[in-house]
Amino acid sequence: MSLLAIDNLSLHFGGVRAVEDVSFRVEPQEVFTLIGPNGAGKTSIFNLISRIYDAHAGRIAFEGRDITAIAPHEVAQRGIARTFQNVELFEHATVLENLLLGRHVRFRTRLPFELLFTPSVRAEERAHREKVEEVIDFLELQHYRDSRTGNLPYGVRKVVELGRALASGPKLLLLDEPSSGLNTEETEEMSFWIEDITQELGITVLMIEHDMALVREVSDRVLALNYGRIIAAGDVESVQAHPEVVRAYLGE
């Protein structure tokens, strides 16, 4: 069974067809990449999966269950985590607090007990802290643990955002342009992490990416979009060589 199944998905903003009749399947433990020029509808698809937008038509199923109409905060409970194109960290909180928030849906503490900070709350905080430390070790963020994310360099913030998504213990990770704003070395590191995430942690990755070197490096399959429609799908080489894709990027 496919992990994520998208069928005939459409999203319209007035007359603008941001996503038009898009269907694809993401299989467990693969890296699936969406490419396409600006405004092709890639991030709109992410926002549809995150339930930030309501689909105009179509169906999104995760692990065989329909998530097209669930509440936005339930998406994380199902095991889908994401990063954002321009980094959406909690800037006045530390790296540690950001990562702990990543585990929000896994906490079982209740408000009255939190107000008293009972031993059970303390024990749970401790247990989640251990999980968060695993992510900190994995992404080598030890040095920044207590820094406010708003003060960190952009490259580090991208990694913290990835860490927050990993901390939630997802089955599917949505990465919106993981390499944007990163220098060559940071992009290289990011590609290693994406490989580790799929191979070591067994997490499936659905990614939007413009850097074709990174796409070639990590992707198992690629889907190209233009004006909200699928123009090509398959392995990296065939999609890159597809005449429609060439035309979309370079013009006639």
Partner 1 sequence: MHVVRKTSYEQDMQLFAHRGVAFWYGVLVLAALLAPLALNTYYLSLLTFVCVYAVAGVGLMLLTGYAGQVSLGHAAFLAAGAYTEAILQAHGIPFVLSLPAAAAVAAALGLAVGIPALRLTGIYLAVATLAFAFIVEEILTRWESVTRGNFGIAVEPLAIGPLSFDAEWKFYYLAFGVLAATLLAARNLLRTKTGRALVALRDSAIAAQSFGVHLAWYKTVAFGLSAGLTGLAGALYAHKIAFISPEQFTVMVSVELLVIVVVGGLGSLHGAVFGAAFIVVLPQAIVLAKSAFGISGGGQAAVDSGVFGLLLLLFMLYEAQGLYGRWIKVRYYLELFPFYRRATFRRQKTYARTERLQ
Q: Footprint of partner 1 on this chain (CB under 8 A)?
A: 43, 47, 50, 52, 71-77, 81-82, 84-93, 96-97, 100-102, 104-105, 107, 109, 111, 114-117, 121-122, 125-126, 129-130, 133, 150-151, 154, 164, 168, 176
CB of 114 to partner 1, least distance (A): 4
Give the nearer residue to partner 1 in terms of CB position, either 107 or 227: 107
Decide: residue 110, CB within 10 A, 0-12 exposed, 13-18 middle, 19+ buried.
Answer: exposed
Give the nearer residue to partner 1 in terms of CB position, either 133 or 244: 133
Give the nearer residue to partner 1 in terms of CB position, either 21 or 133: 133
CB of 251 to partner 1, least distance (A): 27
- For 169, the token pair is 């213990």
Give the nearer residue to partner 1 in terms of CB position, either 47 or 204: 47
State how far the Cα of 120 lies from the Cα of 117, in Å rounded to an integer: 8
CB of 9 to partner 1, least distance (A): 18
Residue 148 per-residue DSSP state: B
State how far the Cα of 187 lies from the Cα of 182, in Å rounded to an integer: 6
CB of 120 to partner 1, least distance (A): 11
Give the nearer residue to partner 1 in terms of CB position, either 7 or 133: 133
CB of 121 to partner 1, least distance (A): 6
Give the nearer residue to partner 1 in terms of CB position, either 164 or 232: 164
CB of 76 to partner 1, least distance (A): 3
State how far the Cα of 95 lies from the Cα of 206, in Å rounded to an integer: 24
Q: Which residues contact 164 (CB under 8 A, 6 or more apart)?
A: 81, 83, 89, 98, 99, 101, 102
- For 201, the token pair is 């942690």
CB of 62 to partner 1, least distance (A): 14
Give the nearer residue to partner 1 in terms of CB position, either 10 or 147: 147
State how far the Cα of 186 lies from the Cα of 104, in Å rounded to an integer: 28
Residue carrying the six token digits 């060559």: 184
Helical residues (DSSP H) of the chain, grouped into ranges: 42-49, 74-78, 95-102, 111-116, 119-138, 154-167, 184-199, 212-218, 236-241, 243-250
